[in-house]
Amino acid sequence: MGFSSRTKQEVVHFLPKDRCCLLGELAAYYDFNGYLMETGGYLDFNSSSPVAARRQLTLIRTLFPNVHTQIFVKRARLLKHQVFTIRISPATAAQNVFAELRQLPRLQKSPLVYRKKCCRRAYVRGAFLAHGSITNPERTYHLEISTDKTQVAGKVQAFVCSLGLDAKVVGRKGSRVVYLKEGEQIATFLNLIGAHQALLEFENVRVLKEMRNSINRLVNCETANVDKTVAAAVDQLEDIHRIDQLVGIDSLEPKLQSVANVRLANPYASLAELGSLMDPPMSKSGVNYRLKQLREMSKELTAH
């Protein structure tokens, strides 16, 4: 079972106590795949996920224990999966349930969004169970909720953003996808919908990945420094050999002669190491200055 499926299996076992939260989650299922047939007198909740279908049935029976429900299962055309339909009838019951789903208090500034935070969390939980997925964090950080309804995508984005997250929306093959891509944001999302075991697993993976990345950065930085030191040493040795061939190292003034001999004896030592080998010891900048003098002399001799 993948990480996304495990997360849903965990979330589906969490049942809020407050009626408003139960209604908030059920409202999300209606927004994604619900249908009210006023003339025929029924209310349908459709889903291609057995997990989501069972969740919807649990919510309906908890909220409306006296309402008559029917369950239909059929294979959708051109699709490989089954479609589960939970139908509420007759017309009076369907209208009453639908009315309750629309009566939850909403924010004045954001009329799409519920006033109470617990209800917003419940709605987002339902949206994730209905059409959400989360990539295995070992691969990358990506959580999304997709729908073919532009208005619903905007509503989901508004709910998620109202909970302090920065959700984005993008089009993909005729659908609208609300997504999060930052590890910290996804971790917060998992906590908000009650997926605490998934959150622990996600955070463990995230810590290990960050440690590996940090180690890789340090190794790469150290490797780059070593490469830079070796390249500089090679250039310095070439300068000294060129001077020796053209005028001889013995012709150099004592301070340059001493640093040239130390470099020849220690081809791959760093500037700091060369400084500690000088007599008397020198600073890193002092060694570097003398080696630059040798470079300039090498260039002048080569030009002549």
- Buried-state track 140-152, b at ≥16 Cβ within 10 A, e below 16: ebbbbbbbeeeeb
What are the structure tokens assigned to 260, written together? 């040239």
pLDDT > 70 in the chain, percent: 98
88 and 233 part of one domain: no
Domain count, the chain: 2
20 and 136 both lie in a single domain = yes
Amino acid, res. 148 = D
Kindly list the distances between the CA atom of residue 165 and the CA atoms of 22, 70, 281, in Å, as whole numbers in the listed order: 22, 38, 58
Most confident of 71-85, 116-130, 247-261: 116-130
Q: Span 164-184, mean pLDDT?
A: 93
At 171 the three-state DSSP class reads strand
Residue 96 pLDDT > 70: yes
Q: Does residue 148 sit in the same domain as residue 38?
A: yes
238 plus 148 within the same structural domain: no
Say whether pLDDT at 193 is over 70.
yes
Q: What is the pLDDT of residue 14?
A: 85
Checking if the pLDDT of 182 tops 80, the result is yes
Q: What is the pLDDT of residue 232?
A: 81
Do 255 and 175 lie in a common domain?
no
Would 202 be classed as within a structural domain? no
pLDDT band at 76 (very low <50, low <70, confident <90, very high): low
| Mean confidence (pLDDT) of the chain | 88
Q: Residue 189 maps to which CATH number?
A: 3.10.28.10
Mean of the pLDDT values across residues 143-161?
94
**Calpha distance 52→280 (Å, rounded):** 79
Indicate whether 213 and 143 sit together in one domain: no
Residue 161: closest CA among 129, 191, 117, 204: 117
Q: Which of the four pLDDT bands, split at 50, 70 and 90, describes residue 219? A: confident
Mean pLDDT on 117-130: 95
Which tens digit of pLDDT belongs to each residue from 248-268? Answer: 888 888 888 888 888 888 887
pLDDT of residue 304: 67
Angstrom distance (rounded) from CA 156 to CA 178: 7
Check residue 29 and give its pLDDT. 95
CB 268 within 8 A of CB 233: yes
CA distance 64 to 56: 12
Q: What is the pLDDT of residue 79?
A: 59
Contact 20, 119 (CB under 8 A): yes
- DSSP, residue by residue, 120-145: HHHHHHHHHHHHEEE--TTT---EEE
Domain span at 220: 209-303
Q: Do the domain assignments include residue 204?
A: no
**Any idea which of 132-146, 157-171, 213-227, 285-299 has the lowest mean pLDDT?**
213-227
What is the residue type of 294? L
The confidence score (pLDDT) of residue 198 equals 93
Both 190 and 213 in one domain: the answer is no
